[in-house]
Amino acid sequence: MKETIRFRLNGQPKTLKTDGDRKLLWVLRTDLGLTGTKYGCGESLCGSCTVIVDGEAVRTCQLPMSAVQGKEVITIEGLAEGNAIHPLQEEFANRGALQCGFCTPGMIMNAYGLLLANKRPSRGEIVEGMEENLCRCGAHQRIVEAIEAASRRV
Amino acid sequence: MTIRDFSAEEMLREQMGRLPTTDEANPSTLGTLDRRQFLKAVGGGIVVLVAMGDPGGSVVEAQGMGYPEDFNAYLRIGKDGRVTVFSGKIEMGQGTMTSLAQMAAEELGVSLQRIDMIMGDTDLCPYDRGTWGSMSTRFFGPAVRAAAAKAREVLLDLASQRLGEPIDRLKLKDGVITSLTDRSRIVTYAELAGGEPIAHTIDREAVLKSVREFKTMGVPTKRLDALDKVTGKAKYAGDIQLPGMLHARQLRPPAHSSELRSVDTSKAEEVPGVVIVNQDGLVAALHEDPEQAELSLGLIEADWQTPEPHVDETTIWDYLRSKDPGGEPDDVRGSVEAGAKLSAERFSHAYHDGYVAHAPIETHTATATVQDGKVTLWVSTQSPFGNQATVAEALGIPKAEVRVITPYVGGGFGGKSTAHQATEAARLTRIVGRPVQVAFTRAEEFFYDTFQPASFIEIDSGLDSEGRISLWDYHVYFAGDRGAEQLYDVPNSQIVVHSQGWRAPGVHPFATGAWRAPGANTNIFAKESQIDVMAAAAGADPIEFRLRNTKDKRLRSVLEAVAEAYGWEPQSAPSGRGLGVACGIDAGTYVAHIVEVVVDRTTGKVQVKRVVCAQDMGLVVNPDGAKMQMEGCITMGLGYAFSENLRFRGGEILDKNFDTYEIPRFSWVPKIETVLVSNDELDPQGGGEPAIVCMGGAIANAIHDATGARLFHLPMTPKRVLEALARLPDFDG
Ligand code: FES
Ligand code: FES
- Provide the residue ranges of all domains of chain A, joining segments of one domain with +: 2-78, 87-153
**Residues A18-44: pLDDT tens digits?**
999 999 999 999 999 999 999 999 999
The angle at the Cα of B438, spanning B434 to B443, to the nearest 5 degrees, equals 155
Q: Is the pLDDT of residue B731 over 80?
A: no
Give, for all 154 residues of chain A, the pLDDT tens digit: 799 999 999 999 999 999 999 999 999 999 999 999 999 999 999 999 999 999 999 999 999 999 999 999 999 999 998 889 999 999 999 999 999 999 999 999 999 999 999 999 999 999 999 999 999 999 999 999 999 999 999 8
Q: How far is B681 from chain A (nearest CA, A)?
A: 28
What pLDDT does residue B61 have? Answer: 52
Q: Which 72-101 residues of chain A touch chain B by CB within 8 A?
A: 75-77, 79-80, 85, 88-90, 92-94, 96, 98-101
Q: How far is B326 from chain A (nearest CA, A)?
A: 36
Please tell me the distance between residue B223's alpha carbon and the centre of ligand 2 in angstroms: 14
- Residues of A with CB below 8 A from B95's CB? 99
Q: Is the pLDDT of residue B238 over 90?
A: yes
Q: Is the pLDDT of residue B529 over 70?
A: yes
Rounded mean pLDDT, B639-648: 98
Q: For the domain bounded by A2-78, which CATH number is listed?
A: 3.10.20.30
- Rounded CA gap, B387 and B395, in Å? 12
At residue B43 the predicted structure's pLDDT band, cuts being 50, 70 and 90, is very low
What pLDDT does residue B24 have? Answer: 26
Q: Which 94-133 residues of chain A touch chain B by CB within 8 A?
A: 94, 96, 98-105, 108, 126-128, 130-133
**Could you say which of A88, A137, A143 has the minimum Cβ distance to residue B411?**
A137
Question: Which of A102, A145, A147 has the most B C-beta neighbours within 10 Å, making it the best mutation to test the interface with B?
Answer: A102
- Residues of A with CB below 8 A from B291's CB? 22-23, 26
Which ligand does the CA of B91 lie closest to? 2
Which ligand does the CA of B665 lie closest to? 2
Which ligand does the CA of A63 lie closest to? 1
- Rounded CA gap, B703 and B710, in Å? 7
What count of other Cβ atoms lies within 10 Å of the Cβ of residue B181?
Answer: 12
At residue B136 the predicted structure's pLDDT band, cuts being 50, 70 and 90, is confident
What pLDDT does residue A66 have? Answer: 97
- Of A145-149, B129-133, B372-376, least confident by mean pLDDT is B129-133
Tell me the helices (H) and strands (E) count for chain B, helix number first: 21, 26
Q: How far is B20 from chain A (nearest CA, A)?
A: 32
**Residues B183-192: pLDDT tens digits?**
999 999 999 9
ipTM metric: 0.98
What pLDDT does residue B501 have? Answer: 79
- Rounded CA gap, B562 and A55, in Å? 45
Q: Answer whether A139 contacts ligand 2 (Cβ < 6 A).
A: yes
What pLDDT does residue B258 have? Answer: 97
Q: Are B33 and B15 in contact (CB under 8 A)?
A: no
Q: Are B137 and B95 in contact (CB under 8 A)?
A: no
Residue B473: strand, helix, or coil: strand
Q: Is the pLDDT of residue B411 over 80?
A: yes
DSSP B562: H
Q: Is the pLDDT of residue B463 over 60?
A: yes
- Rounded CA gap, B583 and B593, in Å? 6
Q: Is the pLDDT of residue B16 over 50?
A: no
> CA-CA distances (angstroms) from residue B585 to A147, B579, B690?
34, 21, 7
Rounded mean pLDDT, B431-451: 98
Rounded mean pLDDT, B83-105: 96
Q: Is the pLDDT of residue B15 over 60?
A: no
**What kind and span of H or E run contains A110?**
helix A104-117
Q: Are A147 and A124 in contact (CB under 8 A)?
A: no
Alpha-carbon B303 to chain mean position = 39
CA dihedral angle for residue B356, residue B95, residue A38, residue B360, rounded to 10 degrees = -10
Pinpoint the alpha helices (H) of B475-552: 520-537, 542-548
Rounded mean pLDDT, B574-594: 97
What count of other Cβ atoms lies within 10 Å of the Cβ of residue B341?
Answer: 12
What pLDDT does residue B64 have? Answer: 56
Rounded mean pLDDT, B264-279: 98
Residue A149 in contact with partner chain B when CB distance is under 8 A: no
CATH topology classification for A87-153 = DNA polymerase; domain 1 (1.10.150)
**Could you say which of B227, B409, B624 has the minimum Cβ distance to residue A93?**
B227
Q: Are B260 and B304 in contact (CB under 8 A)?
A: yes
Q: How far is B114 from chain A (nearest CA, A)?
A: 19
Bridge partners, residue B365, by sequence: B439
**Residues B686-722: pLDDT tens digits?**
999 999 999 999 999 999 999 999 999 999 999 999 9
Burial pattern A43-74, b for ≥16 Cβ within 10 A else e, equals bbbbbbbbbbbeeebbbbbebbbebbeebebb
More confident residue, B525 or B24: B525
B625: nearest Cα among B217, B211, B220:
B220
- Rounded CA gap, B206 and B152, in Å? 8
Nearest CA to ligand 2 atom 3: A135
Please tell me the distance between residue B673's alpha carbon and the centre of ligand 1 in angstroms: 31
Residue B419: strand, helix, or coil: coil
DSSP A5: E
Q: Are B118 and B12 in contact (CB under 8 A)?
A: no
Q: Is the pLDDT of residue B60 over 50?
A: no
Provide DSSP, B204-228: S--PPPPGGG-SSTTS----TTHHH
% of chain B residues with pLDDT over 70 = 91
Taking CA–CA distances from A81, the nearest residue in chain B reads: B231
At residue B295 the predicted structure's pLDDT band, cuts being 50, 70 and 90, is very high
What pLDDT does residue B62 have? Answer: 53
Bridge partners, residue B347, by sequence: B461
% of chain B residues with pLDDT over 90 = 85
What pLDDT does residue B65 have? Answer: 59
What count of other Cβ atoms lies within 10 Å of the Cβ of residue B394?
Answer: 15
Mean pLDDT of chain B: 90
Q: What domains appear along chain B, each with residue ranges and CATH number?
A: 8-231 (3.30.365.10), 242-306+359-447 (3.30.365.10), 343-355+451-726 (3.30.365.10)
